[in-house]
Amino acid sequence: MINNSLKELSAALAAKKISSRELTQAFLDRIAQLNPVLNAFITVDAEKSLAQADAADKRIGQGQAGPLTGIPIAQKDIFCAKGWRTTCGSKILANFTAPYDAQVIERFDAAGAVNLGKTNMDEFAMGSSNETSHFGPVKNPWDPLAVPGGSSGGSAAAVAARLAPAATGTDTGGSIRQPAALTGISGIKPTYGVVSRYGMIAFASSLDQGGPMAKSAEDCALLLNTMAGFDTRDSTSLDRPPEDYTRDLAQPLKGLKIGLPKEYFAEGLAPDVAQAVETALAEYKKLGAQTVEVSLPNTQLSIPVYYVLAPAEASSNLSRYDGVRYGYRAPEYTDLMDMYKKTRAQGFGAEVKRRILIGTYVLSAGYYDAYYLKAQKLRRLIAQDFTEAFKQCDVIMGPTAPTTAFNLGEKSDDPVSMYLSDIYTIAVNLAGLPGMSIPAGFGANGRPVGLQIIGNYFAEAKMLNVAHQYQLATDWHLRAPQVV
Amino acid sequence: MSLTEADVKRMAHLARIEIEEQEVAPMLAQLSNIMGLVEQMQAVNTDGVAPMAHAQDLSLRLREDRVTEQDQHAAFQALAPQVEAGLYLVPKVIE
């Protein structure tokens, strides 16, 4: 059962082979057993989850079930869920109980899904290894010495280790795709504006986007059907007609044109990752696809641009943590200024402080044009690279990350080397495009490799189709780690 | 342009984050590395390129001017570190 797809679980629930309570309890038991090792969840509340499961069972009994009714889903601890502790991986929110629901949570609740608990993450989603969490690092279920990636590392580890049938993530620079790749699961970051940011704790608002993380593309499509939707409470939410993201899953791939950016297969790509990606591309050719070389000449610039824009937006967004209205307040201080400074010095971790200071610097008087405005101009050039590339192809493919999962501690003392591990994912956020990662085998060390699929704006259904057809022909997405 | 310890202290003050004297040098080293990465941007000519703020270049929506929110101050203030009589308490700012 822990390996079943969402469709299979839904069918079992509908046929009364299992109740939502039994299903939820089974996953809660796995969490109780394995979370002490993996640290994938920050908060579990069995009573709340089981109450939702009972409500779902009632709904199923009344014949009013939807595709996700009764299915437990782990929520990244960046989504506010009313009555649930919501920490964003930070000490400053360690005792914060959300007084309202994120739109994503509202939509899962309305669909009758069960909130299985809140997953661990890099503090304020700032990290690529889950090591910046105030609640400790997450272990990669494939190898306890390895990081699970970040920032949605808890969600990725939970799905990979089968502690949850599916989970949510958010992706500002790769935070769904890179952990999906490093733990051998599937995840999609939709086009910017498709999933509401309301109640999703802000990091870099012009880049942040929520999305599903699951065992397969088909599961991701079902989850995205629930997550996507216009929301007046998010100023950049896009008012578009609802889509059925499963509609094209069965389409054959004959004639599909896959663009391969030469910059994604250049220096810095580990040979074992390159090998796995080549093998996946060969499989796509067997399925009738053709490949064409494309160029994204400004790829190298995406990291510098990101490390201006994201910290700038973060420094503004995180100014709300002042020890006055909610969250942590330092126990001792002399005056108001001292209270702000001590609260924030004690409440934020090292990576968050670095980014706030960088953001403050690039936005400070006299430097705005040289950094922030310059970065916004380069952002347009980066987006135009993709526009040009999509004139020659339907989707772009390449590695999700340059290496398989690195070891815990390997990069945590060197922020810049950590940042460089997001080289293939960041440009997609800057352009606002949808991006996906699916499992495509294993590296020399036995750790998973992710294949990245990048689509044009609003091409999610196409990308899910492209991923699903590959998953019908291969079984990488069915491999599960041997967790104790 | 290179960062100095004075810059680090100034940013920490502007960002309202206390920084101990012994933290300044290591922070300067880390921030300088990051800014070294950022400086790569200056190599590219961006004359005539329009800055891009959002992927879809949206304009902000307007809505009807009417009350849409309910009063939830009791629920929200229940989360605050210090509240009295419906007010948030902070250290005295006016003598």
For A45-98, write each residue's pLDDT tens digit. Answer: 999 999 999 999 999 999 999 999 999 999 999 999 999 999 999 999 999 999
Give the CATH number for residue A224. 3.90.1300.10
A248, two tokens = 């094209």
Name which of A96, A364, A378 is nearest B41 (Cβ-Cβ). Answer: A378
Is residue A24 within 8 Å of A53, Cβ to Cβ? yes
Phi, psi angles (nearest 5°) of residue A413: -95, 0
Kindly state whether residue A119 falls inside one of the protein's structural domains: yes
B82: nearest CA partner in chain A: A324
**Percentage of the residues of chain A whose pLDDT score is greater than 70:** 100
Grade residue A475 by pLDDT with cuts at 50, 70 and 90. very high
B49: nearest CA partner in chain A: A377
User: What does the buried/exposed string (b/e) look like for A243-281 if buried means 16 or more CB atoms within 10 Å of the residue's CB?
Assistant: eebbebbeeebeebebbbbebbeeeebbebbbebbeebb
Token look-up 């040098």 returns: B25
Kindly state whether residue A173 falls inside one of the protein's structural domains: yes
For A298-340, write each residue's pLDDT tens digit. Answer: 999 999 999 999 999 999 999 999 999 999 999 999 999 999 9
Kindly state whether residue A397 falls inside one of the protein's structural domains: no
B57, two tokens = 């270049």
- The parent domain of residue A68 ranges over 6-252+465-478
Domain boundaries, chain B: 5-42
Is residue A210 within 8 Å of A456, Cβ to Cβ? no
Here the ipTM equals: 0.96
Model pLDDT, residue B63: 87
Residues of A in contact with B63 (CB under 8 A): 232
Token look-up 């109980």 returns: A97
Give the C-alpha separation, A308 to A369, whole Å: 12
Cβ contacts below 8 Å, chain A against chain B, sum to: 170
Kindly state whether residue A367 falls inside one of the protein's structural domains: no
CA distance A62 to chain B (A): 33
Kindly state whether residue A301 falls inside one of the protein's structural domains: no
Give the C-alpha separation, A64 to A281, whole Å: 42
Kindly state whether residue A67 falls inside one of the protein's structural domains: yes
- How many separate domains does chain A show? 1
First to last CA, chain B: 42
Grade residue A454 by pLDDT with cuts at 50, 70 and 90. very high
Kindly state whether residue A234 falls inside one of the protein's structural domains: yes
- One-letter amino acid identity for B88? Y
10 Å CB burial of residue B33 (0-12, 13-18, 19+) is: middle
Element (H, E) at B87: strand B87-88
Pick among A357, A418, A420, A428 to test the B interface (most B CBs inside 10 A): A357
User: Which residues of A are catalytically annotated?
Assistant: 76, 151, 175
Average pLDDT over residues A443-460: 98
A192 touches chain B (CB under 8 A): yes
